[in-house]
Structure 1
Amino acid sequence: MTAQLPPDFTQITRPRELSAELREQLVDCWVRVINTGGAVIPRGLPMPPVSTGQADPALGRLVGALDPRRARLLIATVGGRLAGWLVLRRDPHPLVAHCGAVNHVMTHPDFRGRGIGTALMGRVRELARQEMGLEQLQIAVRAGLGLEEFYGRLGWHEIGRWPGGLRVAPGDDRDEILMHLAL
């Protein structure tokens, strides 16, 4: 049995730091995650199947908002291959500047079941506190996929639900679950 390599992490904090090659890998990952049932469908993208041409502009909007003080892309690689990524954001308004939001958490389908999601969430916790000075994080997840249990094992707590707030398909409405993590 081969030992699994731990992931390496890279942060992208400005749009110009993202190479064309990495952008292509991020888009491919996002498309594959969505098309295999992942709950990372942002506003503006249709329900699966999603194409690269549809996901690329959505990634462009995320990357365009990157700023070291307000939004960062955290990327996990294993053996030089993209294994997963997420976005960490903070609202600059003084009332909530101590809080951050984690969005678009995804593990590449080729790396599922290898602890990449757990590693990403552990690293984002450190990044949020040590580098961005955040004191709390929030995440919204789709019910029905076991995500609240996953995040619960990592110390996150459910603080609210929007019953039926997400329509996955006609007749398939899911709760949107808001979770919180004190840092």
Structure 2
Amino acid sequence: MTAQEAASAPRLIQFTCPDEVTSDLRRDLVDCWVAVSNAGGAVIPYGFPPPPVTEREVGPVLDQIADGLDPRRCRMLVATVEGELAGWLILRRDPHPVVAHCGVVNHVQTHLRFRRLGIGAALMHRVRDVARDEMGLARLGLGARAGLGLEEFYRRLGWVEVGRWPGALRVAPGDDRDEILMSLAL
């Protein structure tokens, strides 16, 4: 690895408690989410209006996520490159005993400035390790929006498509997309 590659390699940081999400990190996460959503990314959560979105819409949703961080049930993984937020995701476990061995990955996003640099893959490799080694999970699931090639990205990382929910995601009036359900055995 060259010095330049080492300098631009992502640093992966895990957050497990609400008080770990500083106001600066919160601002960077919201900025990332707004940029990714407005560029057509697949991270528009339920409750957002269709793009364009603003900090005012995204901020409260991010606050709910941050407030729900808990080492047993919900963790945030953040990738930085040279101190700048490059991407992030959320890993959740359902507390119900029948499914407590499974986790769900949500809000996977890479900031536009850091696309095509392996940030998303680095986050997905790390979340696998955290889920298995630190949370004791046996399987992960995620939903991806059809029409963006995301299923190919996840397949390259070992995920398997296990189903589709036809037309489940209304991106805009007249633009309904399948939700692709994917799974990864740990």
Gaps of 5+ in 1: none
How far residue 3 of structure 1 moved from its aligned partner, in angstroms, is 3.3
**Other-structure match for 1:29:** 32
Confirm whether residue 181 of structure 1 aligns to residue 184 of structure 2.
Answer: yes
Confirm whether residue 43 of structure 1 aligns to residue 32 of structure 2.
Answer: no
Confirm whether residue 99 of structure 1 aligns to residue 102 of structure 2.
Answer: yes
**Other-structure match for 1:139:** 142
How many aligned residue pairs are there? 183
Q: Distance in 2 between matches of 1:28 and 1:107?
A: 11
How is 1:1-183 mapped onto 2 (pairs within 5 angstroms)?
A: 3-4=4-5, 5-183=8-186
Partner amino acid, structure 2, of 1:159: V
Q: Distance in 1 between matches of 2:18 and 2:100?
A: 22
Q: Distance in 1 between matches of 2:128 and 2:134?
A: 10
Percent same amino acid at aligned positions?
64
Gaps of 5+ in 2: none
Partner amino acid, structure 1, of 2:14: Q
Q: Secondary structure at the match of 1:134?
A: coil
CA change 1:79–1:175 in 2 (3 A) is same
Runs of 4+ in 1 over 6 A off after TM superposition: none
How far residue 53 of structure 1 moved from its aligned partner, in angstroms, is 1.1
- TM-score where L is the length of structure 2: 0.96
Q: Secondary structure at the match of 2:4?
A: coil
Q: Distance in 2 between matches of 1:153 and 1:90?
A: 24
The worse-fitting range, judged by mean Cα deviation, of 119-128 and 169-178 is: 169-178
